[in-house]
Amino acid sequence: ISINQIEETNRLCNRKFMLSVVVEHIFLLVLVTLISVLQNAFFATKVEREGKEHHANTSAFERVSCANRNCMDSYPTFLAVLWCAGLCLNQAPAAFAGLVYLVARQKYFVGYMGQTSQSTPGYVFGKRVLSFLFLMCIVGIFNLLLVRYFGNDFKDTVETITTAASALLLIP
Amino acid sequence: ISINQIEETNRLCNRKFMLSVVVEHIFLLVLVTLISVLQNAFFATKVEREGKEHHANTSAFERVSCANRNCMDSYPTFLAVLWCAGLCLNQAPAAFAGLVYLVARQKYFVGYMGQTSQSTPGYVFGKRVLSFLFLMCIVGIFNLLLVRYFGNDFKDTVETITTAASALLLIP
Amino acid sequence: ISINQIEETNRLCNRKFMLSVVVEHIFLLVLVTLISVLQNAFFATKVEREGKEHHANTSAFERVSCANRNCMDSYPTFLAVLWCAGLCLNQAPAAFAGLVYLVARQKYFVGYMGQTSQSTPGYVFGKRVLSFLFLMCIVGIFNLLLVRYFGNDFKDTVETITTAASALLLIP
C-alpha cells in the first residue's frame, strides 16, 4: 500500500463524514420545511375544493384564495429567514420558531376563511417570529465577525440565550 | 518551516477541499434549479408579450397570467422539497425527479394557454413528483436518526432503491 | 488518554471548524438575503397602509398591490440564482450583484407607485443582474467538471474575472 492510497482512503472517509456533519446540522430545519410543505398542500387542497364546489367567483372562494395567496407571498421570506438563522447560529431555536410561525399561519388561514373583508398581505401574522429569526441571523453574523477579528467565541453563550429566548415566543 | 505554518497550510488545503466536496454534492441540483429559472423567464416573457399585444384584460391574457401565477405559487415549495431531498439522501434521483416536474409544468402551462376555464392552484400537476421528493426527505432523515442511535447505515441501500424508483416516475 | 479519546476530540474539533468554514463562505449571501427580507417587509407595509387608508379597490391600492406582487413573483427566482452563484463560484461578486438587483427593485417599486398602467411581471427590472448571476452559476459548474475530468483549476482566474465583471453592472 503506497502513501497515495492511504491518503485517498482517508479523503474518501472524510468526505462521507463531512456530509453527515452537514446533514446533522440541518435536519431539524428540513423537518420544519417538510411540515410547511404539507401545510401548503393542505391550503391548496382547500382552495381547489372550494373552487370546484362553488364554481369560483363566490365570496367564499375569493376569501380562501386570498388567504392562500397571502400565505404564499410570505412563504419564500419565511424559508429564507428560517434557513439563514439555522445555518448562522443554531438549528434548534430556529426550528422551534419556525413551528410557532406555522401554527400562527394555520390559525390565520382558518380564521380568514370565516371572516369577510381583509386584503392585507400575509405579514399580519408571524411578525414577531420573523423578527426573532431575523435577529438570530444578525447575531450569528456579528458573532462570526467577532471570532474572525478578535478571536472571542461567544457562540455557545449566544446559543444558550437564543434557545431560552425562543420559549418567550409562546407567550401570546 | 515551523509546525504552525504546516498546520495553517494543511487547514487552508482542507478548506478548499471541503468546499469542492460540498459543490460536488449539489451541482446536479444547481443545474435543475438553473433550468427551472430559464423556464420561469420563458413563462414571464409569454405573459409580458400577451399583455402588450392584447392590451391586458382580454381572456387570453387572463389565462396566461393565471397559469403563470399557479406555477409561481408552487415554485418555492418545489425548490424546498428538491433541495431537502437532494441534501438528505442523494442528488441524482432528486435532480431526475425535478426534471420530470419541470416537464409536467411545461405541459401544464402550454395546455393552460389553449384551454378556457381553470382556476385551481398549481398543485394540479406534479403531485406525484412532489410526493416522491417528500418521501425521499423523510427516508433521509429517518436514516440519519438510525445511524445516530443504532449505528446501522442503510444509506447506500436506500440510495440504490430511490435511484431505481425514480425511473417509475416516467410511467404516465 | 486513549487513542479513541484523541480521535474523538479531533473529530469534534474538525466538526466545529467545518461549520465555521461553511458559514464564512456564505455570510455575505446571508447579509444580502436579510436586506431583501427587510425590503419585502417595507413593500408589505406600504401595501397594508395603502389598503387601510383608501379602503381598497382604489387605483392607488391596485398599483401598489400589483407592484408588490410582481416583486414577490420574481423573489424565489432571485434567491435561487443568488445562492447558486454564490455557492458554485464566489460569494463576493454574487452578493454585489444581489445588492444591485435590490436597488433596481426599490427603484421599480417606487417608480410604479407614481405611474398608472403597467401589469407585466417583475422581470422587467434586474434582467441584466439575473443573467449575470445565471452566467456565474454556469461558469462555476463548468469549472467543477473541468477540474474533475482534466485537473485544471481555473477557479482563481475565473473568480478574479467575475469580481471585475460585477463592477460593470453599475453602468446604467
Q: Mean pLDDT across the stretch A31-55?
A: 85
> Does an H or E element contain B18, and which?
helix B3-24
Q: Mean pLDDT across the stretch A161-167?
A: 81
Q: How far is CA B54 from CA B100, B110, C7, in A?
A: 33, 18, 70
Using a CB-CB distance cutoff of 8 angstroms, which residues of chain C are in contact with residue A141? 27, 30-31
- For residue C110, what pLDDT is reported? 81
- Band (pLDDT 50/70/90 cuts) for residue C35 is very high
Write out the three cell numbers for B1.
518551516
C-alpha C125/C-alpha C112 separation (Å) is 11
Largest Cα separation within chain B, whole Å, is 76
Pairwise CB contact (< 8 Å): C123 & B45? yes
* Total-model pTM: 0.83
Q: Which amino acid is at A114?
A: G
- For residue B7, what pLDDT is reported? 60
Question: pLDDT tens-digit profile of A136-147?
Answer: 888 888 887 887
Mean per-residue pLDDT pooled into runs of 10, chain B (172 residues): 58 62 82 93 85 69 81 90 88 90 86 57 68 88 79 74 80 69
Distance of CA B77 to the CA centre of its chain: 9
- For residue B120, what pLDDT is reported? 45
- Band (pLDDT 50/70/90 cuts) for residue A45 is confident
Q: Are A89 and A139 in contact (CB under 8 A)?
A: yes
Radius of gyration of chain B (CA): 21
- For residue C5, what pLDDT is reported? 58
The beta-carbon neighbor of C121 closest among B23, B36, B47 is B47
- For residue A8, what pLDDT is reported? 56
Question: pLDDT tens-digit profile of C64-114?
Answer: 888 888 888 889 999 999 999 988 888 888 999 999 999 888 888 887 766
- For residue C121, what pLDDT is reported? 43
- Band (pLDDT 50/70/90 cuts) for residue C57 is low
Pairwise CB contact (< 8 Å): B40 & C137? no
Judged against a pLDDT cut of 70, whether residue C122 lies above it is answered with: no
- For residue A141, what pLDDT is reported? 85
Using a CB-CB distance cutoff of 8 angstroms, which residues of chain B are in contact with residue C80? 33, 36-37, 79
Nearest-neighbour CA in chain A from B83: distance (Å): 9
Distance of CA A4 to the CA centre of its chain: 44
Pairwise CB contact (< 8 Å): B75 & C74? no
Using a CB-CB distance cutoff of 8 angstroms, which residues of chain B are in contact with residue A20? 144, 147
Pairwise CB contact (< 8 Å): B21 & A15? yes
C-alpha A161/C-alpha A93 separation (Å) is 10
Cβ-in-10-Å burial (0-12, 13-18, 19+) of B40 comes to buried
- Predicted interface score ipTM higher than 0.85: no
Pairwise CB contact (< 8 Å): A123 & C45? yes
